């Protein structure tokens, strides 16, 4: 571990953004309020997201769906497996089309619960011209990891995560993060 020399002062960090528009990730991928929970779970898992904005048909944010919302929903759902009469175990079954269903296959019960039923129905948003300092203060005051950016019509145009803010922080003298400077120097 390298020791800092006594004469070396700590480097100041600067935020290289002045507005929400400069901090945000534009055109965020979102989930529809009428999507099924199963579709949303697949979406979050495939994208590797821990949360996503939920929008209505007009593109306005109406809430957020997080992994926590899904875990709480799953924990609260009680499902009892019915005992089957022996006839079900020995009978030959066929699909509606008449196609025979082989032994070992089973029919999946597809839950039709909608995202709007389990999402967190709170929207914290700012406009694109909101100062970056104000965005950070609001995120800290509200204790949220993300802030939605909406246009004058309330349509979702971007999202600011804590990681987006960190990406815009750099040491004062270089104007870019040390890691990025090292990568670009290669």
Specify the 3-state DSSP secondary structure of 44: helix
Predicted pLDDT at 181: 43
Are 159 and 24 in contact, with CB atoms under 8 Å apart? Answer: yes
Q: What is the distance between the alpha carbons of residues 39 and 14, in angstroms, rounded to a whole number?
A: 40
Domain ranges of the chain: 15-78+92-185
Tell whether the model's pLDDT for residue 138 goes beyond 90.
Answer: yes
CATH number of 15-78+92-185: 3.10.580.10
Provide the mean pLDDT of the chain. Answer: 82
Model pLDDT for residues 154-184, shown as the tens digit of each residue: 999 999 999 999 999 988 775 454 444 433 4
Round to whole Å and give the CA distance between 147 and 25: 11
Strand order in the sheet with 125-126: 25-26, 156-161, 146-150, 125-126
């Amino acid at each position: 571990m390298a020791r800092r020399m006594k004469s070396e002062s700590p480097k100041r960090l600067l935020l290289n953004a002045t507005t929400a528009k400069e901090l945000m990730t534009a055109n965020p991928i979102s989930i529809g309020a009428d999507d099924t929970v199963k579709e949303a779970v697949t979406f979050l898992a495939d994208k590797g997201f821990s949360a996503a904005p939920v929008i209505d048909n007009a593109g306005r944010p109406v809430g957020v769906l997080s992994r926590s919302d899904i875990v709480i929903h799953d924990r609260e759902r009680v499902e009892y497996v019915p005992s089957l009469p022996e006839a079900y175990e020995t009978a030959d079954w066929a699909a509606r089309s008449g196609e025979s269903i082989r032994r070992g296959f089973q029919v999946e019960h597809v839950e039709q619960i909608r995202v709007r039923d389990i999402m967190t129905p709170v929207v914290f948003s700012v406009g694109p011209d909101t100062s970056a300092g104000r965005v950070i203060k609001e995120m800290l005051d509200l204790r949220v990891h993300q802030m939605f950016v909406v246009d004058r019509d309330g349509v979702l145009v971007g999202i600011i995560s804590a990681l987006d803010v960190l990406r815009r922080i750099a040491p004062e003298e270089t104007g870019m993060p040390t890691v990025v400077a090292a990568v670009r120097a290669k």
